[in-house]
Amino acid sequence: MRSITKFLAATLVAGLTAAAQASDLDVSDWTKIEKAAADQTVYFNAWGGSENINAYLEWVGGEMQRRYNVKVTQVKLDDTASAVSKVVAEKAAGKNEGGSVDLIWINGENFASMKRQGLLLTPGWASSLPNWNYVDVENQPTTLTDFTEATDGLESPWGGAKMVFFYDGARTDKAGLPDNAAQLLEWAKRNPGRFSYPAPPDFIGSSFLKQVLSEVIDDRAKLLEPVAEVNFERNVEPLFAYLDELHKVAWRSGKAFPLNYPDMKQKLGDGELDIIFAFNPAEASSAIAAGELPDTVRSFTFSSGTLGNTHFVAIPYNANAREGALLVANFLISPEAQLRKQNPQYWGDPTVLSMTKLPDADRGAFQALDLGVATLTPDKLGPVISEPHASWMERIETEWRRRYASGN
């Protein structure tokens, strides 16, 4: 028994010596990477809660196998943080090579946390990817700054996101739809029990809080800096005043909240909710195609702007198939993969590529895409409000829990 205790202690101590090892990887030598990647298996850790995304990743796997002889296996997560946890556990156990996670679908808090803990492959590699030339860094600043955290090339953009709202035109009058957070509250008062948001720390739920905060805070610039403790209470006071009002007229009177976006989608379909929102403008069209929502569902957004961000893929410092993961990351931003991803038939996720940088044929293909009846075209999506610094999300979530989820 004692020797086993010793062993346990040893494995914990091993973490002490864990440090990012000197990388012998030259990202600019692409031929070498392609050669080294052959026959590797890339374990792509990605949220697995959506069948169409899983199917898209299967297509990616097939293409990678065919083109580069790289096998891609999706490790389906119910929460991205569990992939982060795996890397942490490995670092704790001193496993600095041959880790079990090769590629993670990531952004925001999780990225900031991994970057801070030194859990990512260094030095930055994203801008060395051959397909980086097509990325729209000029018009989509969020491809370089993830929730105010500089990406430093430690993650490669994969898709765009913009908050949009959905309603069922057969049930809800288009004329009365809100155009900003304040009008949304008025709308909820006129239609009690028909609006809600997922309980934080769900990503979409927290985003709703940030959207409201961005609209009601006295100076939006404050959100781009880390939270200042001294003024925190006063800065978020308008947000919680808003929520206090909203909960009185929300679904289940604010005593329960939807679990996440798909749960809200189901509730829109069931008629429990009348206005829901998502981060993917094509969500409603995909859901109509899948028979989950009636074809009378339409989208709208706020003319004064809604939150927008980018989601990425990153490679852990101890990834086993680094070269394979780089190849996959590069393929994910190829015009072909991005085109298929933006097609609502497969997924409908907005591209991170710049139309002006693309070859003519590819640009034409993008412009010819049928985005679906319920999807707003890119020019109708409205202005982008930048994501607040990641520290805001943490503090608001805690404050939300303290106020609404302490069981008092």
Q: List the one residue from 6, 32, 67, 252 that touches other proteins (CB under 8 A).
A: 252
| Site stretch for other proteins (CB under 8 A), options 5-13, 182-190, 305-313, 369-377 | 5-13
Contacting other proteins within 303-342 (CB under 8 A): none
CA separation for the pair 63, 347 (Å, rounded): 17
Q: List the one residue from 25, 36, 59, 95 that touches other proteins (CB under 8 A).
A: 95
Q: List the one residue from 105, 125, 251, 347 that touches other proteins (CB under 8 A).
A: 251
Instruction: Examine residue 405 and tell whether it contacts other proteins (CB under 8 A).
Output: yes
Decide: 318 and 309 in contact? Cβ < 8 Å.
no
Instruction: Examine residue 89 and tell whether it contacts other proteins (CB under 8 A).
Output: yes
Q: Using alpha carbons only, how large is the chain's radius of gyration in Å? A: 22
Contacting other proteins within 29-68 (CB under 8 A): 43, 45, 47-51, 54-55, 58
Decide: 406 and 228 in contact? Cβ < 8 Å.
no
* Smallest distance, other proteins to C-beta of residue 391, A: 10
Contacting other proteins within 267-296 (CB under 8 A): 267, 269-272, 291-292, 294
| Site stretch for other proteins (CB under 8 A), options 61-69, 175-183, 226-234, 260-268 | 260-268
CA separation for the pair 120, 23 (Å, rounded): 12
Instruction: Examine residue 82 and tell whether it contacts other proteins (CB under 8 A).
Output: yes
Q: List the one residue from 60, 64, 91, 135 that touches other proteins (CB under 8 A).
A: 91
118 or 378, CB closer to other proteins?
Answer: 118
99 or 382, CB closer to other proteins?
Answer: 99
Instruction: Examine residue 298 and tell whether it contacts other proteins (CB under 8 A).
Output: no
* Smallest distance, other proteins to C-beta of residue 373, A: 16
CA angle 210, 211, 212 (to 5 degrees): 90
* Smallest distance, other proteins to C-beta of residue 174, A: 19
Instruction: Examine residue 188 and tell whether it contacts other proteins (CB under 8 A).
Output: no
Instruction: Examine residue 86 and tell whether it contacts other proteins (CB under 8 A).
Output: yes
Contacting other proteins within 344-363 (CB under 8 A): none
Instruction: Examine residue 262 and tell whether it contacts other proteins (CB under 8 A).
Output: yes
Instruction: Examine residue 90 and tell whether it contacts other proteins (CB under 8 A).
Output: yes
